């Protein structure tokens, strides 16, 4: 049995806390929100974000960050991406050297263009930082629906420790040394999912969705490999796997926000309607900035930014994509 500190009590944090408890571990869950902790303590269920998932009496819920971190074998950082740096800074006072921290949020910091593991390492240089990612909606993990995911870490030993901790008959975990590639895939798929949702909101069909997924993973891989990620990562769980589920699922907050925008909502109105952090909105500016920095063509990401921040009508953005200059799909291919 491991002692686990879950830092963040949103839908994903609660789903993973339940999973780890079912695996026989001792779980303490922290949130900065007193009302959220009181609800979890009294209801033993996250009524707002993960209804129907019963939480055991043995699971501890607290606003005491020190108690959540003290004497823990592993910490799971499950706060939304905009709050990763500020939360990591709060953790510094209580962190022991070499502490394993598994980040499960997805995004890129807009101001610094840094991946979230890089943000955590900036604030907590003594930590052993890993990432957990893949096609894994909290709503399904909480209900113990079979799910497969990948853990990326700097060392094989850390990756295998986390793999053993999370692995179960309903949660299969692969390991990878490509932390950068995993994080780029995880962050940028949310931007493409916004585009997929916008297409749904406009009333387009399966052909359009398939095009966005296929060309979207091409954009993500092009940038990620230029930055140093591995080809296999982008066509694995945290790349095409996560992209498919986020573009197609009823649970996807990014797809839902995009759908509302396609139906005529403003970005702010859509985010309020979703009632949870829409990671793709926060990653979109970072994605286009990275594209410019590394001189990578990313037309889908470019049009999502134009819709979100420049007032581009959604239907016009689709026309812009369809009427781009003619291209060849297989660049290195040879005609007979």
Eight-class DSSP state of 95: P
| Distance in angstroms (rounded) separating the CA atoms of residues 61 and 72 | 15
189 is catalytic: yes
Residue 294: count other Cβ atoms within 10 Å of its Cβ: 14
Eight-class DSSP state of 29: E
323's tokens: 């009427």
Q: Is 146 exposed, middle or buried (0-12, 13-18, 19+ CB in 10 A)?
A: exposed
141's tokens: 């993990």
Q: What is the dihedral of CA 110, 113, 117, 120, to 10 degrees?
A: -60
304's tokens: 């999502």
Selecting among 189, 209, 230, 285, the annotated active-site residue is 189
Q: Which helix (H) or strand (E) is 278 found in, with range?
A: none
Q: Which residues are catalytic?
A: 189
């Amino acid at each position: 049995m491991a002692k686990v500190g879950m830092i963040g009590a949103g839908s994903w944090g609660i789903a993973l806390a339940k999973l780890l408890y079912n695996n026989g571990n001792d779980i303490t869950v922290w949130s900065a929100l007193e009302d959220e902790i009181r609800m979890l303590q009294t209801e033993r269920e996250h009524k707002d974000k993960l209804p129907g998932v019963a939480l055991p009496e043995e699971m501890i819920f607290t606003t005491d960050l020190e108690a959540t971190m003290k004497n823990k074998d592993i910490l799971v950082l499950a706060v939304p991406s905009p709050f990763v740096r500020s939360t990591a800074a709060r953790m510094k006072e209580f962190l022991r050297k070499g502490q394993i921290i598994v980040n499960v949020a997805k995004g890129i910091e807009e101001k610094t263009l840094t991946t979230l593991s890089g943000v955590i390492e900036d604030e907590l240089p003594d930590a052993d930082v890993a990432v957990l990612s893949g096609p894994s909606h909290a709503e399904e993990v909480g209900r113990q629906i079979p799910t497969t995911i990948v853990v990326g870490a700097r060392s094989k030993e850390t990756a295998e420790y986390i793999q053993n901790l999370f692995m179960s008959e309903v949660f299969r975990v692969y390991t990878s040394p490509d932390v950068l590639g995993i994080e780029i895939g995880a962050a940028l798929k949310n931007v493409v999912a916004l585009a997929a949702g916008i297409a749904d909101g406009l009333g387009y069909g399966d052909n359009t969705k398939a095009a966005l997924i296929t060309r979207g993973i091409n954009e993500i891989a092009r940038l990620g490999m230029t930055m140093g990620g591995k080809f296999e990562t982008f066509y694995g769980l945290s790349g095409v796997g996560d992209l498919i589920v986020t573009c197609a699922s009823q649970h996807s907050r990014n797809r839902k926000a995009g759908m509302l925008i396609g139906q005529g909502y403003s970005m702010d109105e859509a985010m309020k309607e979703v009632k949870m952090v829409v990671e793709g909105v926060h990653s979109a500016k970072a994605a286009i900035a990275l594209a410019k920095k590394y001189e990578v063509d990313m037309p889908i990401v470019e049009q999502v930014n134009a819709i979100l921040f420049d007032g581009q009508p959604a239907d016009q953005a689709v026309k812009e994509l369809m009427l781009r200059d003619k291209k060849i799909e297989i660049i290195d291919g040879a005609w007979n």
